[in-house]
Structure 1
Amino acid sequence: MSLPNLHRNTWLHIGAALLLALVAMLLIRLHYANGATPAADSVQAGRRLAEAWCSPCHAIDANGARSQTTTAPDFVAVANMPSTTELALKVFLQSSHPTMPNVILTAEQRGDLVNYILSLKRS
C-alpha cells in the first residue's frame, strides 16, 4: 500500500469512528429525552408560566377555561397530538406566530413550559 492510500485509509477510519460516536450520542440523547421524567419543579414552574402568559387564550389544564373569543388549542389537546414532542414544542415556542403575542422565553422557561405541556399527555 502506498503512503497516500495509507493516509487516506487512516482518515476514513477516523471519520467512521467519529460518525459512529455521534450516532451513539444521538441515540443516547433520544433515549433520555423520551424516557426521562422531568423534575417536578420544572413542571410546576411551567404551569406557573402557563397561568401567567398562556391562560388568557389557552385552557392550560383539563379543567381550565379560556377566552371565548379565541380558537387557541387547549394544552391537553396539544400534549396528546401524535406530532407533539419535546423538540417540536421547543421549536414552536422559539418561532413567531401571527396569532400569538411575541413572548420571549429563556431556554430554561421554554424547557419548563414544554415539560408542563408534556406532563398533560395521557398514557
Structure 2
Amino acid sequence: MMPLVSTRGSLSFFLACGLLAATLATATSAPGQIVNGDTGMGRQLAKNWCSDCHAVGPNDETNGDGPSFVSIANMPSTTSISLHAFLQTSHERMPNLVLTQTQIDDVVAYILSLRSE
C-alpha cells in the first residue's frame, strides 16, 4: 500500500511552514501585524511633515489639533492595514501628501513602534 503523502513531500511542506513562520516572526511589530518599514526614517518623515499638527514623538507637545502619534498607535482600530489605507487616502483636515510606498511603510512602522505593550 502506498502512503498518501511522500516523506519528501511532507518534509518540504514542514520546512516551508517553518521558514514562513520564522519570516513572519521577525517582521511583526504587534501581534499579527507585518511591518516592513524603517522606524527611524518614519520618525524623521513624520517630524518633517506631520509635526505642525501632531505630537510625533512620545514626549512631544502638539502644535495643532491633530491627535498625537502615541494616541493613534494605541487606538484599538489602529493596524498596519488601517494606517496604510489612511495614508493613501486624502482627508479634509490634512494636507494631501503624496507618499511613496516605502515612505508609507516607514511612517506606519514608526507609528506602530509607539504602541504601548
Deviation of 1:71 (Å): 1.9
- Decide which structure has the larger Cα Rg and report it: 1
Which structure 2 residues correspond to residues 18-57 of structure 1 after superposition, within 5 A?
A: 32=24, 36-37=28-29, 42-57=38-53
Which structure 2 residues correspond to residues 64-103 of structure 1 after superposition, within 5 A?
A: 64-67=60-63, 70-103=64-97
In the other structure, the counterpart of 1:24 is: none
Number of residue-to-residue matches in the alignment: 92
TM-score for both structures, normalised by structure 2: 0.70
Higher helix share: 1
Residue identity in the other structure for 1:36: T
Deviation of 1:36 (Å): 2.0
Q: 1:63 to 1:32 in 2, by over 3 A?
A: same
Residue identity in the other structure for 2:85: V
C-alpha RMSD over aligned residues: 2.5
TM-score for both structures, normalised by structure 1: 0.67
Cα distance in 1, alignment partners of residues 89 and 114 from structure 2 = 22
Cα distance in 2, alignment partners of residues 34 and 71 from structure 1 = 36
For structure 2, list consecutive stretches of 5 or more residues without a partner in the other structure.
Answer: 1-19, 30-34
Deviation of 1:35 (Å): 6.1
Q: Deviations over 1:14-60 (max 9, x none)?
A: xxxxxxxxxxxxxx69x938962457x70000000001000010001
For structure 1, list consecutive stretches of 5 or more residues without a partner in the other structure.
Answer: 1-27
Cα distance in 2, alignment partners of residues 96 and 34 from structure 1 = 32
Residue identity in the other structure for 1:32: L
Cα distance in 1, alignment partners of residues 25 and 81 from structure 2 = 9
Consecutive aligned runs of 4 or more in structure 1 exceeding 4 Å deviation: none
- Percent identity between matched residues is 45
Cα distance in 2, alignment partners of residues 77 and 65 from structure 1 = 12
